[in-house]
Amino acid sequence: MADEFVLLNVGPSPFGMRVKIALIEKGITCEHKDENLAAKSPLLLQMNPIHKKVPVLIHNGKPMCESLIILQYLDEISKDKSPLLPSDPYQRAHARFWGDFVDKKIHPTGRRMWAGKGEDQEAGKKELLEGLKVMEGELGDKPYFNGETFGFVDLSFVPFNAWFYTYEKTGDFSMEAEFPKLAAWGKRCMQKESVSKCLPDPHMIYDYAMARRKHI
Ligand code: GS8
């Protein structure tokens, strides 16, 4: 019997986008089920009873949670097709470090900025810009974070390319002017079909963020 994959997700989730891109990179066919986070399905609550969050990837009935862990799982079960993590153990640890940095220093600070107000928003902006500066330094003059090929760190970070517009609008700065290497990297990644297929229109993300903001 063929392997069965089901992804529980919501469209604007940068974490879900990671998994969608990885599935395409790995050539894995998957059923997609959209969740409503305001009324979570019994399936989501059953599959991710601890965090109750998306994405959840269900492989032959067995759930996996946490996007970076899901990416590593997909890489392990499909090693030969579009490898995501480098083969060298030190380089693998290095890539995991940067994926974790995105989760700790980009996503929460960006959210604090677009969802926050006043001093909180300013503090979020300051931290986000610091985080983006560090990412720009890590990318340097390489085409991708790992060097010549799209890999784990690119995949962890690229969904935020769809969020950059929201960051620019709510933080009143320009990615192109402040972080030209990241802006060019984002465009480079968008040339990959797996990425352009999975990243929503940045204006849609902005509308979603502004609508959410009213309820936070
Ligand atoms: C984060 C998942 C998450 O925050 C990962 O998969 O990498 N560390 C996890 N998911 C959000 C949607 S995206 O903002 C979520 O499911 N939120 C529902 C809730 O908090 O109730």
pLDDT tens, position by position, 128-153: 999 999 999 999 999 999 999 999 99
What residue ranges define each of the domains in the chain, with the CATH number in brackets?
5-77 (3.40.30.10), 89-213 (1.20.1050.10)
The CA–CA distances, whole Å, from 191 to 194, 196, 199 equal: 9, 7, 12
Residue 28 CA, ligand 1 centroid: distance in Å: 23
pLDDT tens, position by position, 62-104: 999 999 999 999 999 999 999 999 999 999 999 999 999 999 9
CB 21 within 8 A of CB 198: yes
Mutate to test the pocket of ligand 1, among 7, 8, 15, 74 (most ligand atoms within 8 A of CB): 15
Phi, psi of 36 (to 5 degrees): -110, 110
Query: Global pTM?
Result: 0.97
Mutate to test the pocket of ligand 1, among 35, 45, 51, 152 (most ligand atoms within 8 A of CB): 51
Q: How many other C-beta atoms are found inside a 10 Å radius of the C-beta of residue 188?
A: 15
